[in-house]
Amino acid sequence: MSEDLSIVIVDDMQFSRAVLKSALRRSGYEDVRLAASATETLKMLRERGADVVVADWVMPEMNGLELTDAIRAMDEEKSRYTSVILFTAREGEDAMLEAFHRGVDDYLTKPVNDKELAARVYAAGRIASLQNELLQTTSALQALNSNLESLNAVDVLTGVGNRRYLARQLDAQLLHVHSRGGGLCYAVVDIDNFQRINRQYSYDAGDEVLRALARRLRRAVRPLDIVGRLEADTFGIILRYDNPAQFRTGIFDRIQEAVRSRPFRIDDGEVEVDVSLGAVCFNSGDELLTVPELMEQAERNLERARVRGVGQVEIG
């Protein structure tokens, strides 16, 4: 199961750090660094990134959830992704849901089983690898802006697909669901009061926020989900699933939380951003919609969300 992964173990208890390191070494992982605190972990990551951070939930100074927030902020600056696994003596669904809600990739309860630890680290490493490959691809796309613009499929500012690209993908996904089963949701995400950012700061600051928002949306969904920019301050997201009964609309709350979890950094400081969201879902067996009908319905739901106020979600 061994992979060439860079791993950081952080725990304020020296014995616990040593036990986890030994377990990973026995599973074939060689690049394992130890940190006694969240601060030391962040210093390590600034010097050299890691694929996976395995951290104790309860630590003095900064706990595991706060460390996860700090790692996500650092990843955003460096345009990379670090998988985070928390371990703790806390049990129950509430603790697990809290961890996942805060952006943790996986969760283990003490005492940690050696084989389970190795398997979870392997899976987390795969997540980091897929996300970083995606980020590298996006970076390469942005470097080829002139070619992409001529193809008229990618938004030059953010590096994600444009409206034309989203329409093509929706057409393909609708046909797939209609013929092979499953379902999809299409969501329109709009920045609340975006013009305020342009007026209060600058249009350059607005562009910084749009680029950062595209990255956050991309990380808030699964690697195979599709994010595109529809127009100035509006993005579209396509979520496909194999089993409609297992799809949870809580994903839309998670998308909003990923946006509002921390301020967006611009040259002049930081900007708080919230978004409204309108979505429509289509499952196998439903009356087949055209792409324009689906997009129009999602935008109508967005308008209904806006009427209710800032940061609202409307699903139809």
For 21-64, write each residue's pLDDT tens digit. Answer: 999 999 899 999 999 999 999 999 999 999 999 999 889 888 89
Is residue 278 pLDDT above 90, yes or no?
Answer: yes
For 136-163, write each residue's pLDDT tens digit. Answer: 777 776 665 555 454 578 888 998 999 9
Q: Two tokens at 28?
A: 């074939």
Among 52, 75, 61, 56, residue whose Cα is nearest residue 11: 56
Round the CA-based radius of gyration of the chain to a whole number and report it: 21
Rounded CA-CA distance 164/166 in Å is: 5
Instruction: Tell me the DSSP string of 105-153.
Output: SEEEESSPPHHHHHHHHHHHHHHHHHHHHHHHHHHHHHHTHHHHHHHT-
Comma-separated ranges of CATH 3.40.50.2300 domains in the chain: 6-136
Rounded CA-CA distance 316/307 in Å is: 15
Is domain 6-136 annotated with CATH 3.20.20.70? no
For 216-247, write each residue's pLDDT tens digit. Answer: 999 898 888 999 999 989 999 999 998 888 88
Going across the sheet that includes 313-315, the strands are 226-231, 234-241, 183-191, 275-283, 313-315
Q: Look at domain 146-315 and name its CATH class.
A: alpha beta
Rounded CA-CA distance 282/296 in Å is: 14
Comma-separated ranges of CATH 3.30.70.270 domains in the chain: 146-315
Predicted pLDDT of residue 288: 83
Going across the sheet that includes 52-56, the strands are 31-35, 6-10, 52-56, 83-88, 106-109
Predicted pLDDT of residue 285: 87
